[in-house]
Structure 1
Amino acid sequence: MCEKIKKVNSWLSAVFGDQPVPQFEVTTRTVDILYQLAQSSEARCSDTAHLIEDFKQKTSEYQADAAHLQEVLLQGVGLSSASLSKPAADYVSALVDNVMVLGVRDTSLASLMPAVNNLTSEHLKAEKSNEQLERELRALRKRLGATLMLRGTLQEDIEKTIKFETVESAKAEERMLNMDFVTAKARELSNHRERSEAQLVARKMDKSITHQAIVQLSEEVGALKNQIMPLKKKLEPYMDLSPSPSLAVVKIEEAKRELAALDSQLEKNTDGSRCAEKPNNAPEKETGALHGSES
């Protein structure tokens, strides 16, 4: 643990240099984390140092090769960088730039042609990829246009739906208010009806004089009148005949029995009501006429 703390302190001092090291809580976990960071930092620094040394070595090798080539050109051909004309220097500079771009080791055709071919194939691939991307872009633009149109339509539908919901909400609220009013009114009428029924029961009102009972009696009276009409029509042919004592007596007795039955039924239906019309008035007159003719 002490060795780890010493290594962490030395690493932090090297990292911050002249600046003071920030205070931190010294625990087993923090020391372990800082110790791992110190080891990783030292490993990266070592790798970087080796890489720098390698670059320096390659630089020295390239410089030695360049000096050797310059000496060969100067001694064998008699050319130097100072003796080249400006166009030739420009060509050489362009050739060097091309070699650097192509990433080849020298300017020979065996190195340049494959690099140019590779670059050309990469260019063709890039063009094909660009064309494919353009087709996809056009398709995406079409889809984007359709999506925007759909979005506009959906937005309009949403606005219409919101307006419709607002109107329907107002109508529903109005219906609820009307329903509350109708419910309260129905409750009030029900209470009033119950009080009225209680008052009628307290006053011992006869149900036979109610509107419904009177309407029912009127319907029954109308039905009895309809039953009497055929009897009247049966008696009409006998009104003009000469009196026959035996036949008149038989007819009179039959008419009396029918009228008595009708009177009894009518009295039962009216249940003592004096307001209904007696249906035996006309038949009694006819009977009286028959008695007169018999006499």
Structure 2
Amino acid sequence: MVEPCEFSHLNCFHVPHPQLEKPLRANGTTGLRVCWRQLFFSAFVAAWLKKIFGDHPIPKYEVNPRTTEILHHLSERNRVRDKDIHLVIEDLKQKASEYESEDSFFFLSFIPAVNDVTSDLFHTKSKNEEIKLELAKLEKNLTATLVLEKCLQEDLKKAELHLCTERARVDNRLQNMDFLKAKSEEFRFGIRAAEEKLSARGMDASLSHQSLVALSEKLAELKRQTTPLKKKLESYLDLMPVAIFITFFFLKSSLLIFPKGPE
């Protein structure tokens, strides 16, 4: 016959237990009521403690409904915690697997990236070497240009100094030229006035300055022409009659060409 247990909050039922009935009757107990829920909790707690401690001995504790309930509650919380830990472990394993896949992908992508970076680095180094060579050439050209610029500046200073000197000389010559022009005009007017005075006094036109200059030029031309003839006639001077005749002829020709004017 099943009857309600005194532990009504645990929803237990009491039933007669034949093995425990005799000891309890010796103590004056009229009957035995066993709570099956309490027995189930006790068995569950015992199994849980054995699982927890393993080969180690289980510590002794007072077996009563309260301790059994507390241990059962702890076992339930432990079970829930183990379940959560198991889920966390599975999640971590899944994430580790995903991370390993990503690592493999990144590693496979890393090798070409390293090759590309190495190629870019080599290209950059080559470009830097070319830039260094160009920079060295530019520095050399710049040095030569600076030297040339310095030489040009010195030449420019010398040219400016020479230009100043030449300008002063040209200015001096221009002043002298102006002075000479003025004097020339003055002399020209004086010569013209003198010629007018001489013409008024009845002077022959052949004795004028221009006529004398023309005769002087004509005489110089005749001397130039007779110089070869003189050299040619030197070979005939040994012949006395011929030399006298030639001399007489030459003098006569000279008198005919240059008649003696009035004094």
**TM over 0.5, shorter chain:** no
Q: Which has the greater radius of gyration?
A: 2
TM-score (norm 1): 0.36
Name the TM-score, length of structure 2 as normaliser. 0.40
